[in-house]
Structure 1
């Protein structure tokens, strides 16, 4: 059965807590249990020192800026983002953790402004304010009518994929899992008796086989499956071989797209057996503007990922990557010069995968199906 392409909007980390929460209409308690910054408003002041005044009690749409019109014009069939914050009034800051993110539940319209269809939650900030905070997060999102995946009141709920209807009677399944390599404490793992996230210690062959098995059991004929993974370090363009093996095994096992995130900047992409693997989408919204130390990675530059798949096969038709920049804690179009810079970085870092990325006159980037990965098959990686 044929049909129109299925287009998905995919975002990396959407961090509406901490400093971003402080500029929204209902800021929560600004107190932080961090070693160096004890007031979330400090992050707003850093952004202002870098680029100018940021409004307080800003409209809920403010952090998204020009991204909202871009999304409306693209009209994707589904919108999937990594919500990397707790949504709670809890003060139970997780002990011995350096950074804590929370947004006030009354600020959830700032998330709803982007009309996400699925918020994946298996990341290293969703339990920043304890299991009481997680319970409030899950309840607040459910009350707002927002689907989630990757966290739950027990392991079965954390592993349950979000299911979205697609045109033509098809379904989109979204699985969410997080790995220790992204800084997730192992104690956040959900169990049969304990709330938490779908957690993996490592990107092992056994873990990949288990996840792929769950994908196969859940898929029906005509379904498409996305596996969203929070993994890896914050900085750097090199993709570890175990992550490549893991992603390949998921595709071999039935995943149609691998949606990786955790890095604060975009990482390479790969087209493996016709399926797109995004090893790191980078941050989309955060409060890092004005924080120094990693300027060479240009984490002020962000990408909207609009991925179009063949409905019958799940194979990539093309992926449009729209460059944006955060400025005064709001997203705006990136300059042509900055788009060129991103194109060069992604082309070089994706070269070993054989990925073909072009740039159009507007500055948007396109990932093409190409000839496939240049890497050896999964079983013989060094």
Structure 2
């Protein structure tokens, strides 16, 4: 949307490695070094045992499924995803990690088919195959014409924002950070002469002030600023107080949207000073079907977030959330009962905002109104 508004597509973790990589046209080596699973094809079998056969090899659009149709209809100005996998043929498994994700570079059409404008890389899997694997990831994404944020060949590159011009005349700046609390090893931090991620050792007032300093150095009039943060635990609805304070400090310092991810299911939504804070977007694409445990969180349900902000101020003017369901490693429309469950859950865990379900099955945030500070704590 031009003419005074900017619409963003945001989602949680896009994991096209491991089992997803194995059903695509160019699967990489299936070797794993997990406690109980040594072959990535085992995850394909788990998915098929839960939801039926997959017609492998699948076409590149398969994992996105219904999401591609909704993106075509919504026509967002900027598409931002957290790419939670390395893109490499490297076999140098990062030591001390229980889980490693990689996709074969030849399978990148399964990412480019969604036309992401920014791939966030500040997460706990982008260096699963070492710095050589990260270098290959960066090279592969650059060859595909994809912008990245949150990882780079140096700290300067890792902490730099991705800048996307928008029809309204300004830019969307995407800064990305990966917190220690999401499982990122401290040794993955980018330095002046070492490739790595934009690392957040702790979620603190001092760390927020440093992010704000970087934002103010880069932001120009008419820019919309998104800070994408990979943080926190995989499960549970509780949002730690320090995350709330950090996100609000970013907004106080000029950030327009806080895009949180890492949790396997959606977490609370907040509107603070007319700016949107998503504490956890949940998973989007992965191979997790058929894995037992935590069923009460319904991690098979996924959300595509369509965020509209005023181009001149960054003020939130609308949030639509499209419920999807993972079936056979493909996103399908969520059933009506599950859409209602998501609405009820988001309303229960979010303070001072209200989510409704429109006749088209889209979840809509009722905006609380100008200059109202919402959310009272975790």
Query: Is residue 2:211 matched to residue 1:211?
Result: yes
How is 1:162-311 mapped onto 2 (pairs within 5 angstroms)? 162-311=162-311
**How many angstroms does 1:223 deviate by?**
0.7
Given that 1:354 and 1:373 are in contact with CA atoms closer than 8 Å, whether structure 2 keeps it comes out as: no
Given that 1:263 and 1:282 are in contact with CA atoms closer than 8 Å, whether structure 2 keeps it comes out as: yes
Q: For the residues of structure 1 that align with 2:188 and 2:43, how far apart are their CA atoms?
A: 27
**How many angstroms does 1:375 deviate by?**
4.1
Q: For the residues of structure 1 that align with 2:202 and 2:296, how far apart are their CA atoms?
A: 29
**How many angstroms does 1:263 deviate by?**
0.4
Query: What is residue 142 of structure 1 aligned with on the other side?
Result: 142
Q: For the residues of structure 2 that align with 1:164 and 1:360, how far apart are their CA atoms?
A: 31
SS of the residue aligned with 2:260? strand
Q: Greater shift after overlay, 161-170 or 18-27?
A: 161-170
* Structure 1: unaligned runs, 5 residues or longer: none
**How many angstroms does 1:369 deviate by?**
2.2
**How many angstroms does 1:33 deviate by?**
1.3
Query: What is residue 356 of structure 2 aligned with on the other side?
Result: 358
SS of the residue aligned with 2:63? helix
Measured against aligned partners, the alpha-carbon deviations of 1:239-282 in whole angstroms (never above 9, x if no partner) come to: 11000000000000010000000001111110000000000000
Given that 1:317 and 1:368 are in contact with CA atoms closer than 8 Å, whether structure 2 keeps it comes out as: no
Q: Greater shift after overlay, 97-106 or 311-320?
A: 311-320
Given that 2:122 and 2:177 are in contact with CA atoms closer than 8 Å, whether structure 1 keeps it comes out as: yes
Given that 1:63 and 1:285 are in contact with CA atoms closer than 8 Å, whether structure 2 keeps it comes out as: yes
Q: Greater shift after overlay, 25-34 or 356-365?
A: 356-365
Query: What is residue 65 of structure 2 aligned with on the other side?
Result: 65
Measured against aligned partners, the alpha-carbon deviations of 1:323-356 in whole angstroms (never above 9, x if no partner) come to: 0000111100001100000001110000xx3112
Q: For the residues of structure 2 that align with 1:114 and 1:204, how far apart are their CA atoms?
A: 35
**How many angstroms does 1:357 deviate by?**
1.2
**How many angstroms does 1:4 deviate by?**
3.2
Measured against aligned partners, the alpha-carbon deviations of 1:2-35 in whole angstroms (never above 9, x if no partner) come to: 9332100001100000000000000000001111
Measured against aligned partners, the alpha-carbon deviations of 1:16-75 in whole angstroms (never above 9, x if no partner) come to: 000000000000000011111100000010000001001211000000011101100000
Number of residue-to-residue matches in the alignment: 375
Query: What is residue 369 of structure 1 aligned with on the other side?
Result: 367
Given that 1:359 and 1:366 are in contact with CA atoms closer than 8 Å, whether structure 2 keeps it comes out as: yes
Query: What is residue 97 of structure 1 aligned with on the other side?
Result: 97
Query: Is residue 2:127 matched to residue 1:127?
Result: yes
Query: Deviating runs (4+, > 2 A) in structure 1?
Result: 371-376
SS of the residue aligned with 1:106? helix
TM-score, normalisation: structure 2: 0.97
Q: For the residues of structure 1 that align with 2:100 and 2:66, how far apart are their CA atoms?
A: 28
